[in-house]
Chain A
Amino acid sequence: MAIVEAKSLCKTYDTGEVSVRALNDVSFSIDAGSVVSFIGPSGSGKTTLLNLIGCLDRPTAGELLIDGMDVASLDRKQSARFRGKNIGFIFQDFNLVPILTVYENVEYPLIMVLDTPAAERKALVRELLEEVGMADQQRKYPDQISGGQKQRVSIARALVTKPKLVLADEPTANLDHKTAHLILALMKKIRAELRTTFVFSTHDPKIVGEAEVIYRIEDGVLMDRQEQGGRRDG
């Protein structure tokens, strides 16, 4: 069953007199529970595509269904509510809130987005921190932990609301190779346990192999789809 379905997606940015077409007639679908990667060089449209899937931006044309919902029709508040309930974000620069501890960063979406009761909140946060191996660092602030640890916290924050879809834009760009593999292994492990769909973008060929399905994108056009294990659709 597809969690994401995109049909003829287009995205054009108007910058004064010049129009830049970032995505051109992109169609694809992502199965629930899969690990999918969008690869391509810088400026190819990966981030634009992830922003559309993450309901952070609206397509200029085309149809985009997330878990059966036409997200292009949502207004700002509806988008925010939909994101909070259904989508987790992992950022390239981790984007942890510096004034909150590791524990509080993970707890934040449960308090401010979902209004989860305190007891349930505590159990969820502890479980996730154990899962990402950060339970012993929970009282530290983001500036007191390493980049790899920050990304673990970021993963825990993205997963704490039990979203159907987790989006990660270049999640390993600021990590060394070994840590990057560890982070991706962690994402896959959690995926296996929680049946969450992971979609990440990268232009690092060394980590692409961690995905089950790879979409290659160039100049805003989806070039091909490759399944790990051999099948390739051009």
Chain B
Amino acid sequence: MGNTLKMAVRNLMRYKRRTLLVATLIALGVIAVQVFVASSSSYKSLIISQITDAMLGQMQIHKKGYLVSVENVPLNLNMDRRGAATIEGILDSLPEIEAYSPRIRLGGMISNYAETTNIRLYGISPEREYRTVPLLPKRLMSGSADLKPGEILVPQLLARGLGLKVGDPTVIIATNKDGSVNGKQFVVGGIVESAPGPGGRDGYINITDAAELLRMEEPEISEFAIHLKRFDRLDAAYERLAARLGQEVNREGKPKFEIHTWESLAPFANIAKMIDLMTVFIKILLVAIVLVSVMDVMIMSVYERTREIGTLAAIGTMPGRILATFVSEGILLGVFGVVIGNILALAAIYAIRFSKFTFSFGMKEGFILMPRMAMSDVLFVSIVVIGVSVIGSLQPALKASRMEPIKALKSV
């Protein structure tokens, strides 16, 4: 094995320029993949964390049928006290859940006494909400996030349109479940930055105020937002929760509740899928680069060394040894390219981090791209490149090993 590798190294060094060229090509492919994967992952996780940790939560539980009517904010699909207690019992029993927050969602009108416009609101328990969506307080542009009873957090766009400032009085008018209208005076406790995505332009009031405004005798919960201890275990937690909630059925034997991950709640999930698809395409491109370049160089190598192969075969070298020599050359080319590529990719990724490259998403500006090269990506790319190098060198190596020595020796 050691001698085969030694011969492979020397054969590669025999054509230094060609080896360097192919290794550079492979390295460039690896750099492109690693930088793209690291940057797109950073971009995705930044945006996803904005969506999940500043607004939606990572998962939401509603009464069955709520989500299809969510645009109408249907009060008749809120959970009663028993339903909410059932959900809380389930969520309390699952160790993977870090925090959850009950919410009352409502639509209404907001007035500054001179102008009136429509608004959608979340009635929340501030402390529980901020543990569930920890980036929400960071969206506060002015004022306080305490959200005491009687206070409202107004979204930036509405505040600008109505000329509202912290401390200004406002009135919220909302239609109740029975169709009657009620109004309640609030003081602007803070202005929140409008974030991209659903719910990004909604205001916040205390959950007791929401119940009072909607004339609920006790809070009827529209949704539970959930925050997990480990976001990377979202799918497993979803499966477990869905299975548990599936046991809760109504008299007709149909599920009482529905659960959704952020992916089915935010349109950004489609952009994330597109990014994943592009990542697949760029990985396919890398495979093509490695396959074509390794195969090309190995075909050339076999062609140029036909007579030498004939000599080795004539003196008794077994076909398997000849095959191993050429496959080793292909593997070494791949290893050489992938090592250089990963090192340079790491340097490029650190350069991006150091440059503090920023981008905007929706109304939000100043996101800093912080790409990170994951060990799993290094391993995946390395295995793919080396595997493809083996495949690329296999055909020329087989050709070399199957050469008739007498024909090969006649080659000029």
Q: Residues on A close to B: CB < 8 A? A: 51, 54, 56-57, 76-77, 80-85, 87-89, 91, 95, 97-100, 108-109, 111-113, 157-158, 161
Contacts and interface: CB of A to CB of B under 8 A. Distances in A.
A56 B317 contact: no
A76 B311 contact: no
Contact of A77 (B10, B308, B315, B318): B318
Q: Is the interface of B mostly helix, strand, loop or mixed?
A: helix
Nearest to B316: A84
Highest count of chain A CB atoms <10 Å: which of B3, B316, B405 = B316
Nearest to B313: A80
A112 B307 contact: no
A83 B314 contact: yes
B347 interface: no
30 contacts: A54-B314, A56-B314, A56-B405, A56-B409, A76-B319, A80-B313, A80-B316, A80-B317, A80-B318, A80-B319, A84-B316, A84-B318, A89-B315, A91-B311, A95-B308, A95-B409, A97-B308, A97-B311, A98-B14, A99-B7, A99-B10, A100-B7, A109-B315, A111-B3, A112-B3, A112-B312, A112-B321, A113-B318, A157-B315, A158-B315
Contacts of B307: 95
Q: Nearest 5 pairs between A and B by C-beta?
A: A84-B316, A99-B10, A95-B311, A113-B316, A56-B406
A84 B308 CA distance: 16
B11 interface: yes
A113 B315 CA distance: 8
Contacts of A112: 3, 312, 317, 321
A1 B316 CA distance: 25
B149 to A, nearest CB: 84
A164 to B, nearest CB: 13
B40 to A, nearest CB: 43
Contacts of A77: 318-319
Contacts of A85: 316
A49 to B, nearest CB: 13
Given A83-B315, A109-B315, A113-B316, 5 more contacts: A51-B406, A80-B313, A87-B316, A99-B13, A158-B315
